Structure 1
Amino acid sequence: MEKPSAPSCERNRDPILEVLRSAFADRRQVLEIGSGTGQHAVHFAAAMPWLQWQCTDREENLPGIRLWLDEAALSNTPPPVVLDVSGAWPAGHYDAVFSANTLHIMGWDEVEQLFGHLAAVTAEGARLAIYGPFNYGGQYTSQSNAAFDQWLQARGMHMRIRDAEAVDALAEVAGFDLIDDVTMPANNRLRIWQRNR
């Protein structure tokens, strides 16, 4: 089996890292939801060795993630674990959670479940960082995002770019306040919340 590769990870990893270096500067245990290929994990864990970076994804994606982790052989990337937001979640109280390009792939019920489980796996004061495209006020931020959303819905009607305000409402119910909303390349955002209770 060859290592899976997502070109978008190569393009966005350094802009994301620049933000996470600050946002996760005082963090120790990161839960990554939907690690995908594993490319982000090895890049971020190598650049931020003070973090223990826990990869998760659906069962079928774990072999590819393991290939990236095994090749990098980092001491701060334990073996990936299964996480389907609709199923059982790993035990632990993480002080940081990261997810990239997942909310628009999940159905809205799965997005609700993701936020609904956060309180059980995070410590007080934990930070949540989510990267991807968002709509604001029900409007696309660019023509390219509008076209991307049409492409997503052609693949599956459950997929779509999420409204920032709707996601913020889920975060608030889960006990997380938005503390930063960073403009990223290619009309993406890196939005960061902090657990207040």
Structure 2
Amino acid sequence: MLNFSESCERNKHPILAQLITLLSDCRSVLEIGSHSGQHAFHFAQHLPQLNWQLSDRALGIEALSHNQNQADLSNVLAPITLDVANPTDWPQQKYTAIYSANTLHIMSVDHVKAFFNNLPKVCQSNTILVIYGPFNYQGKYSSDSNETFEQWLKNRDPLSGIRDFEWVNELATAAGFLFEADIDMPANNQLLVWRMS
């Protein structure tokens, strides 16, 4: 598998345990930032009612397409190019669920804003939004390991960084989403859940 991620292998099982309930009424999912596709392939096998749309930035599409062909799952759709800051990249289709893992801390602040500003284009009433990753609360790290991770992120890209939950929730609310849940996950990560009003 190209772009294989050890962290995806570790967290795919606890995330699936939550998605089984969260996505039980959903039929179509847009995953934003699929990377290797490991999450999609694992989840789609266990949630056969879902049509799972892969997406990534242009530079990741070739590897993601290779992995999708190897996985050969009928309910995982060929990846589309999606730069969250490019309004024309967003698909015309409306989805019943949006999923994104370990993306907001990789994006710049402006890209996170664009992510939420453009989300309504692909949502309908009651679309569920599920975001996985590390978050700060009231400007404070939730663990020493997250503080160390933040330094690693900043050294790699000064525009990246762990985002404050309160700020992210403000963006989601402004985009028309109602906050539903903040689920504690292993390794000091969170699964945040909103629903389009």
Q: TM-score, normalised by structure 1?
A: 0.97
Q: What is the distance in 1 between the residues matched to 2:57 and 2:119?
A: 17
Q: What is the match of residue 85 of structure 1?
A: 84
Q: What is the distance in 2 between the residues matched to 1:74 and 1:156?
A: 35
Which segments of structure 1 move beyond 3 Å, counting only runs of 4 or more?
none
Q: What is the distance in 2 between the residues matched to 1:17 and 1:67?
A: 23
Q: What is the distance in 2 between the residues matched to 1:3 and 1:146?
A: 29
Q: Is the 8 A contact 1:57 1:81 kept in 2?
A: yes
Deviations 1:84-128 (A, max 9, x none): 011121110111000000000000100000000111111100000
Q: What is the distance in 2 between the residues matched to 1:129 and 1:72?
A: 23
SS of aligned partner of 1:74: coil
Q: Is the 8 A contact 1:30 1:54 kept in 2?
A: yes
Structure 1 unmatched ranges of 5 or more: none
Q: What is the match of residue 110 of structure 1?
A: 111
Q: What is the distance in 2 between the residues matched to 1:14 and 1:94?
A: 23
RMSD over equivalenced CA pairs, Å? 0.8
Q: CA deviation at 1:67?
A: 2.1
Q: Percent identity?
A: 47
| Aligned residue runs from structure 1 range 30-69, under 5 A | 30-69=29-68
Structure 2 unmatched ranges of 5 or more: none
Q: What is the match of residue 69 of structure 2?
A: 70
Q: What is the distance in 2 between the residues matched to 1:41 and 1:66?
A: 12
Aligned pairs, how many? 195
SS of aligned partner of 2:77: coil
Partner amino acid, structure 2, of 1:143: D
Deviations 1:115-174 (A, max 9, x none): 001111111000000000000011000000001011111111111100000000000000
SS of aligned partner of 1:95: strand
* 57-66 or 18-27: bigger deviation: 57-66
SS of aligned partner of 1:3: coil
Q: Is the 8 A contact 1:103 1:111 kept in 2?
A: yes
SS of aligned partner of 2:105: coil
SS of aligned partner of 1:148: helix
